[in-house]
Structure formats: structure tokens, C-alpha cells
């Protein structure tokens, strides 16, 4: 009798260990969780199968589709709530892996779009830099052309003015070189003349104001190194005035005295 009791206890312990191992396996693999345990508990407490047991289990396991808003898309006919999402642990892992893969693909697409936009911005920046450089070069060319045209026009005007000055007398040129004509402008024209002609013009400056003006002109000539600066000084000797004609009576008496013995 004692051996039979021991045998029965061993059977009970083995069954208990087997049940505990099964529960541990189900919990470890995700096949058994709290909602399922509650359903099993209800099944054990109440005799018979409850009405719509599978629908209730699906609603417990996947509450999302059952509680979806009324404005959302309607569920496809013929598809039970149990088939709407993963039920086992492996299916959940696969579902999570697929969701992570989709998220990775979405991030890769966004990264690719950002790279393309960055490349587009770089190309636009390079084009803007090239256009700015071309505009700067065109501006330099235009400025050089304007400067050349202006210089050519000034040279032609200077040549025409020199041709006109060659026809004037030194005294007339002296009057033209007086203020408001600047000493710099007078020096430019005076330096372009022959030294002899420049000397004649300089000799016409006799009054104090005229000497002051020609002094400024000669200073400008010395600064530019023009040969006209070596002209005679600004206070040349005045030309001798012609002798006044003697009275007729005096001339006659002098003539008589000259022929007298």
C-alpha cells in the first residue's frame, strides 16, 4: 500500500512538473499571456463554451481593429478579427520586423531625397557663382571700354584744342591760361607745345597776378617733368620801346648842327 501511494505521488509530481514546464514554455514563447490566461480561467470556471468565444478572444488580443473609428475604412467581408493581425509570438516578431524594415526603407528614401536636394542646391550655387563671375568680367570689360572711349575722346578734344591754340598769338594764349583756367590744365597744354613757343607765351605773364598764375603752371610742369619747365624765368626783360619821333624843329637844328663845320 505504501508503494502504491508513493507511485501515485510520483505520478502527480511528474504531472505537476510537466504542467509547470508547459506553462513556462507557453509564457517564454509568447503563446500564453494575461488575456489568454483570463480566457482559460473563464473556461475552467464556467461549464460549456461561451457564445462568440473566438470573437471575444480576438477583441482582447487585437483591440485596434475592433475599436477603430467609424470614419475609417470598413473591414473586408469574410475576414475575422483573429486574422487581422499577428497572434503568435513569432508572427508578432515577424510583424515588428516588417514594420522596422518599412521604417528603414522610408528613412532611406527620405535620406535619398535630402541628398538629391543638397546636390541640387550645390548645382544652383555653382551656377550662381558662375553667373556672378561672368557679370563681374562683363562689368570690367565695360568699364575698360568706357575708360578707353573716354580717353580717346579726351585725346581727340585735346588734339583739336592744340590745333586751335597753334593759330593764336602768345598774348591771346596768356589770356586763355589765366583763371578761371586751372594751372593743371594750362600746364597740360603748355607742356605739349614747342619750347620756343612756350617761352614766348611765358614771357607774356608780366603783372603780379599773371606771374603768380604762371608760377603755378611751371610748378605743375616741373612735377610732370615736361621740357617746357626749362623755359626762361617768369620775369623776362620787357622789349625795348620804339624811340619817340623827335620834333621837327629839333630835328632840323640837330641836322644843321651835324652838317656845320
Encode pLDDT of 131-149 as tens digits: 999 999 999 988 888 888 8
Which residues in the chain show pLDDT less than 50?
Answer: 65-84, 227, 229-261
The dihedral through the CA atoms of 158, 160, 162, 164 has a sign that is negative
pLDDT at 227: 47
Query: Hey, what's the torsion of the CAs at 85, 91, 92, 98, to 10 degrees?
Result: -90
Instruction: Report the distance separating Cα 170 and Cα 199, nearest Å.
Output: 9
Question: Where do runs of H (alpha helix) occur along 30-67?
Answer: 34-45, 53-61, 63-66
pLDDT at 128: 94
Burial class (CB in 10 A: 0-12, 13-18, 19+), 58: buried
H/E segment holding residue 244: none
Boundaries of every domain in the chain: 93-167, 168-230
Contact 192, 221 (CB under 8 A): no
pLDDT in tens, 95-119: 888 889 999 999 999 999 999 999 9
Burial class (CB in 10 A: 0-12, 13-18, 19+), 231: buried
Could you tell me which residues come within 8 angstroms of residue 87 by beta carbon, excluding any fewer than 6 positions away? 61, 62
Instruction: Report the distance separating Cα 58 and Cα 62, nearest Å.
Output: 6
Query: Is the bond into 180 cis (omega within 30 degrees of 0)?
Result: yes
Q: Is the pTM of this model over 0.85?
A: no
Instruction: Report the distance separating Cα 30 and Cα 238, nearest Å.
Output: 131
SS3 44: helix
Amino acid at each position: 500500500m505504501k508503494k502504491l501511494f508513493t507511485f501515485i505521488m510520483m505520478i502527480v509530481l511528474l504531472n505537476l512538473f510537466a504542467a509547470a514546464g508547459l506553462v513556462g514554455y507557453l509564457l517564454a514563447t509568447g503563446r500564453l499571456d494575461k488575456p489568454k490566461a483570463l480566457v482559460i480561467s473563464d473556461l475552467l470556471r464556467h461549464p460549456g463554451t461561451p457564445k462568440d468565444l473566438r470573437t471575444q478572444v480576438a477583441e482582447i488580443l487585437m483591440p485596434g481593429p475592433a475599436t477603430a473609428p467609424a470614419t475609417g475604412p470598413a473591414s473586408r467581408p469574410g475576414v475575422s478579427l483573429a486574422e487581422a493581425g499577428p497572434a503568435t509570438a513569432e508572427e508578432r516578431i515577424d510583424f515588428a520586423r516588417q514594420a522596422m524594415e518599412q521604417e528603414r526603407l522610408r528613412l532611406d528614401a527620405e535620406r535619398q531625397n535630402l541628398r538629391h536636394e543638397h546636390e541640387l542646391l550645390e548645382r544652383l550655387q555653382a551656377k550662381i557663382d558662375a553667373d556672378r563671375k561672368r557679370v563681374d568680367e562683363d562689368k570690367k570689360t565695360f568699364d575698360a571700354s568706357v575708360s578707353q572711349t573716354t580717353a580717346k575722346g579726351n585725346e581727340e578734344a585735346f588734339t583739336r584744342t592744340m590745333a586751335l591754340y597753334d593759330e593764336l598769338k602768345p598774348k591771346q594764349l596768356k589770356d586763355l591760361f589765366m583763371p578761371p583756367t586751372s594751372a593743371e590744365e594750362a600746364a597740360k597744354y603748355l607742356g605739349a607745345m614747342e619750347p620756343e613757343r612756350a617761352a614766348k607765351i611765358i614771357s607774356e605773364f608780366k603783372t603780379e597776378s599773371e606771374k603768380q598764375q604762371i608760377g603755378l603752371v611751371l610748378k605743375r610742369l616741373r612735377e610732370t617733368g615736361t621740357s617746357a619747365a626749362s623755359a626762361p624765368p617768369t620775369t623776362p626783360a620787357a622789349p625795348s620801346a620804339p624811340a619817340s619821333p623827335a620834333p621837327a624843329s629839333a630835328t632840323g637844328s640837330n641836322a644843321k648842327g651835324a652838317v656845320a663845320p
